[in-house]
Structure 1
Amino acid sequence: MTNKSYLTSQNGAPIADDQNSLSAGKRGPLLLQDWQLIEKLAHFNRERIPERVVHAKGTGAYGTFTLTKDLSDYTIADHFNGVGKQTETFIRFSTVGGEMGSADAERDPRGFGLRFYTANGNHDVVGNNTPTFFLRDGIKFPDFIHTQKRNPKTNLKDPQAMWDFWAENPEAMHQVTILMSDRGIPANYRQMHGYGSHTFSLWNAKGERFWVKFHFKSQQGIVNLTNEQADKLKGIDPDSSQRDLVLAITDKNFPKWTVNVQIMPEADANTYHINPFDLTKVWPHSDYPLIEIGELELNRLPENYFAEVEQAALSPSNLVPGIGVSPDKMLQARLFAYADAHRYRVGTNYNQLPVNCPHATQANHHQRGGAMAGTACPYHGSQTGGDASPNYGPNTTPEALQESSQFAEPPLRLDGEADRYSRYNQDDYTQAGNLYRIFGEDEKQRLVATICGSLSQVTLDVQQKMVVHFTKADADYGDRISKALGL
């Protein structure tokens, strides 16, 4: 029986009746031998994998990146060499703090995770819709996220924990100002910018290294929601951003972003007046202007949300020759944390799933075994455990895998003593104050109202500490917050 229209069990056996359980008589109890019932219920209990601790709710799409400026002077990365070259892409947008069932229109950063399926492997730029973040050191990240999640006693969101943490970590001031401003609630995923946020590195054929930041500028324009608009939209359609992207691509109104980079010569980092690897800071465009390099277009929706979006496993550790990391402490922590989260959620061979495996090149390695071993990547067949080739290297077999020394990254010079460095002459306030000062009067009023709507719910000591931080960023900023709180 080969007709694919027949309903079958998981082992391929035809099902005669899928509507009635096997029972002892018409009114009798069910029988344990009803393997068909057991299979359906057991699978149903296991249909969900653990949701992401952060970025749990999101949506994805495929597209193309078209290079419009050759970057061979800066990098050997294949997708950044050759004007006109097109590279297949996948992107996952998300909110950060909410659960799978949360509303899309929350005041929250938005994840902007982009994958390039390059000829030399997958390159992921896993960033946000903001160029900065709340922290500069990944060791604080679990504590920070605990303050954004539910209180372990009440299971309610906890303004006290959130502001208490920020009061003790003034490095968050720049990102807090962004989040609480009019920029804090993007109307949808199409009408917002994206950023790699971290500092990455490029290296060219001469072995020269450059530091780089990625910027994705929406060609749809920027639209944000007020608190009132967002509250109304959350009640009308909690899936508003998901729906917007699906409808746009279905209607062939393909979203586009202009791709830009900022590039800093390696030596500049030693003398630049800010730490270029500090995720709480931006590089002023007056010092390192945006360089337009291409266009990102989203033009295809996934066929299966669970398989292609829920199990998408983007990670900043997915790098290719010509692209490297930097001493950015948050980035260094994420290199481990993201891939490890995917191993936990999806399984050790998560990279063999269609959305995660390389599309434009073959993955060849000595890793074997584990859950899903032998799963066939639809682009290149099985990668792990699907054949009897050696699972060690080096080896003397005819099919021995060879190292590609031509892609070696140039050495990175390091200097300093190993220590746990605390705050050292870090300026946590200037860029936050600069941002505040460019806001118009109406936006300043909305910013203060948004901050105080939440900050008013916390203890007096935390309020007073936050007023000190706001004042150090800008005297008017702190004065308005203080007056609005009645301090």
Structure 2
Amino acid sequence: MVASNPISTLANGNLLIFVKYTDASFTGQPSENPGSVQQIRYGETNGGLVVLSDTQTIEILAHFARERIPERSVHAKAAGAFGEFEVLDDISDLTDAAFLTGVGKKTPILARISTVGGEKGSADTVRDVRGWATKFYTEEGIQDFVFNDLPVFFIRDPIKFPSMNRSHKRHPRTNIPENNMFWDFHVNNPEGIHALTHLFGQRGIPESVRHINGFSVHTYTLNKSDGSYVYVKWHFKPEDGVKTMDPERAARLAGTDPDYHVRDLFNSIEAGDHPTWIVSIQVMQPEEVKDAPIDIFDCTFTWPYEKYPLRRVGRLTLNRNPDNYFQDIEQACFSPSNMVPGIGPSADPVLQARMFSYPDARRSQLLPAAAQQTSQQGICSIHYVFSQLRPVSLSSRVQVPTHEIYDGQVTAFATQFNENKDYVQARQLWNIISAESREKKFIGNVLGTFKGLDPQLKSRVIEYLGLVDKEIKRQLEQG
């Protein structure tokens, strides 16, 4: 709301509102001087007792005390923007999801791209996973994709999720990041070796968030109303290519320009240089699952491209910056459980746990009213159900998991590490790193985390990583 010739300004939450002969209170009553405070005056001094009937002052102070929300436990620091998704190739043979059918169809989106471990004021150019959350405002409801820029995850047992994230953050006693804590978790939970090989590789620090991949990590389903379904993995590939940053420059920027990635995305979009990504899927038929070379419900594995090639779906474009970062990006919340008809989850236990955990984090983080704020609402949002004046139209397709039947005993189950299986893809990735002559960079990145490391733990880390390739062990021992 901007009035012409404003004579004063008041901050309403995080949005600066210009006013002319009016205050910024919730009553909207005119005020000759919005900066004045009702008082019982004390002589000719500036002193006085503020009266309770001055609702304008009380409302502004009360709002200020409540306008912030708790910081996210993870993914606190982020860049974000609005844009659109355009269908390039129709996949109506696989799904009934309306926003994925019809070449040329466009759907508005909101994207939030974040680091994981750091706090809201932390540096952008750190070695970390990037979260890639996208909200599609479809005519059938909200579709959230909550992806990462690495194709695999560090764990496959969801109960480890809190411990894994804590090990990547600050030590509870010293309040500083702790290499001992990081490596103590990973050598004792070795299934993350594939993700670690990615993290300490060239792509651990991106040049910008405009040049990162997005991966679903988990297996999802696409389904149709006739009961047919397929398993898929989603991929976002930047059309301008993946670009990375060397650790020395990243460390320098972390000190001189900690908001480098946030600034880069905002300035690029503002200048009309809109980043784009090609959206593709890998597809697996249900009857292929039994003979698949990997466990498709294990998010520490990727699907081989040669067996399950990418099939193009569409293009993501980010083309509009938020008008109010706090309202549009900071309060935006995403959940893998937000799915429209035609898209479904799989039996990946980590995905199943995230479908609970993400909405629960939103309930904890946001004020009660904020769940209804603008960026969460779909284009078909409603205010209450069973309205006679404006009845809700019902979809003929209800999202129910009719495509899979689970029959078995409820048991306490924890996955087991299998060196012959769990090291395979990490070794394949190391061979690629070596072929590109980037092994010294990888070794240097790992050695950077050895500072202050307990000697016994350091030996275990070297043995752990050395099982990927003996050359890694040799070079780490040489230091």
Task: Settle same-fold status: TM greater than 0.5.
Answer: yes
For 1:453, the equivalent position in structure 2 comes to: 448
Q: Is the 8 A contact 2:289 2:296 kept in 1?
A: yes
Aligned to 1:394: none
Query: What is the correspondence of 1:79-94 to structure 2 with a 5 Å cutoff?
Result: 79-94=99-114
- Calculate the aligned-residue CA RMSD, in Å: 2.3
Q: SS of the counterpart of 2:471?
A: helix
CA distance 1:403–1:123, change in 2 (3 Å): closer
How far has the Cα of 1:414 moved from its partner? 2.2
Match of 1:472 in 2: 467
Deviation sequence 1:269-314 (CA, Å, 0-9, x none): 2221211111111101011001111111111111111111011111
In structure 2, distance between residues paired with 1:83 and 1:405: 22
Judge which range, 442-451 or 207-216, deviates more.
Answer: 442-451
- 1:228–1:7 CA distance, 2 compared to 1 (3 A): farther
Q: Which residue of 2 aligns with 1:48?
A: 68
Among 31, 34, 42, the alignment partner of 1:15 is: 31
Aligned residues with identical type, % of pairs: 38
Contact between 2:229 and 2:403, CA under 8 Å: does it hold in 1? no
Give me the whole-angstrom Cα distance separating, in 2, the residues matched to 1:120 and 1:308: 21
Residue 44 (structure 2) pairs with residue 28 (structure 1): no
Partner Cα distance (2:143, 2:469) in 1: 40
- The change in CA–CA distance for 1:388 and 1:31 in structure 2 (over 3 A counts) is farther
Letter in 1 for 2:467: K
Among 263, 276, 281, which residue is 1:256 paired with? 276
Tell me the TM-score normalized by structure 2.
0.89
Instruction: Determine the C-alpha separation between the residues in 2 that align with 1:270 and 1:141.
Output: 28
The one of 438, 445, 454 aligned to 1:443: 438
Match of 1:377 in 2: none
- Aligned residue for 1:369? none
Cross-structure match for 1:428: 422
* Residues 58-82 of structure 1: CA deviation (Å, up to 9, x unaligned): 1211111111111111111111111
- Please say if residues 221 and 344 of structure 2, whose CA atoms lie closer than 8 Å, have aligned partners that are also in contact: yes
Report matched runs for 1:88-487 at 5 Å.
88-348=108-368, 350-359=370-379, 362-364=380-382, 383-384=383-384, 389=387, 404=396, 408-424=400-416, 426=418, 427-440=421-434, 442-484=437-479
Provide the C-alpha distance between the structure 1 equivalents of 2:117 and 2:226, rounded to a whole number of angstroms: 43
- Counterpart of 1:24, as a letter, is Y
**Compared CA separation, residues 15 and 438, structure 1 to 2 (3 A):** same
In the alignment, does 2:21 pair up with 1:6? Answer: yes
C-alpha distance in structure 1 between counterparts of 2:337 and 2:381, whole Å: 16
CA deviations on 1:80-111 (whole Å, 9 max, x unpaired) are 11112111111111111111111111111111
User: Which letter does structure 1 place at the counterpart of 2:457?
Assistant: V
Shift of 1:35: 4.3
| Equivalent position SS for 1:331 | helix
**CA, structure 1 residues 7+334, in 2 after alignment: closer, same or farther (shift >3 Å)?**
same
Name the SS for the 1:439 alignment partner.
Answer: helix
Q: What is the distance in 2 between the residues matched to 1:407 and 1:19?
A: 53
Matched position secondary structure for 2:448: helix
1:400–1:233 distance in 2 versus 1, CA, 3 Å: closer
Measured in 2, the distance between the counterparts of 1:157 and 1:7 equals 49
* TM-score where L is the length of structure 1: 0.88
Q: Is 2:191–2:417's contact at 8 Å kept on the other side of the alignment? A: no
C-alpha deviation, 1:150, in angstroms: 1.4
Give the deviation of 1:24 after TM superposition: 2.6
Q: Mind listing any 5+ residue stretches in structure 2 that lack a counterpart?
A: 4-18
Query: 15-24 vs 151-160, which deviates more?
Result: 15-24
Structure 2 counterpart of 1:166, one-letter code? H
Give ranges in structure 1 of 5+ residues lacking alignment. Answer: 365-382, 391-396
Structure 1 CA distance for aligned equivalents of residues 390 and 428 of structure 2? 62
1:406–1:91 distance in 2 versus 1, CA, 3 Å = closer
Moved more, 325-334 or 26-35: 26-35
Contact preservation (8 Å) 2:135, 2:143:
yes
Are the counterparts in 1 of residues 269 and 319 from structure 2 also a CA contact under 8 Å?
A: yes
Letter in 1 for 2:478: K
Q: Are the counterparts in 1 of residues 194 and 423 from structure 2 also a CA contact under 8 Å?
A: yes
In 2, are the aligned partners of 1:343 and 1:349 still within 8 Å (CA)? Answer: no
Contact 1:181 1:446 in 2 (8 A): yes
| Conserved 8 A contact 2:190-2:417 | no
Quote how far apart the aligned CAs of 1:163 are: 0.6
Q: State the AA in 2 paired with 1:245.
A: L
Task: Encode CA deviations 1:338-395: one digit per residue, 9 max, x unaligned.
Answer: 1111112114554522111112xx245xxxxxxxxxxxxxxxxxx14xx8959xxxxx
Matches of 2:26 and 2:83, distance apart in 1: 33
- 2:6 paired residue number: none
AA aligned opposite 1:328: D
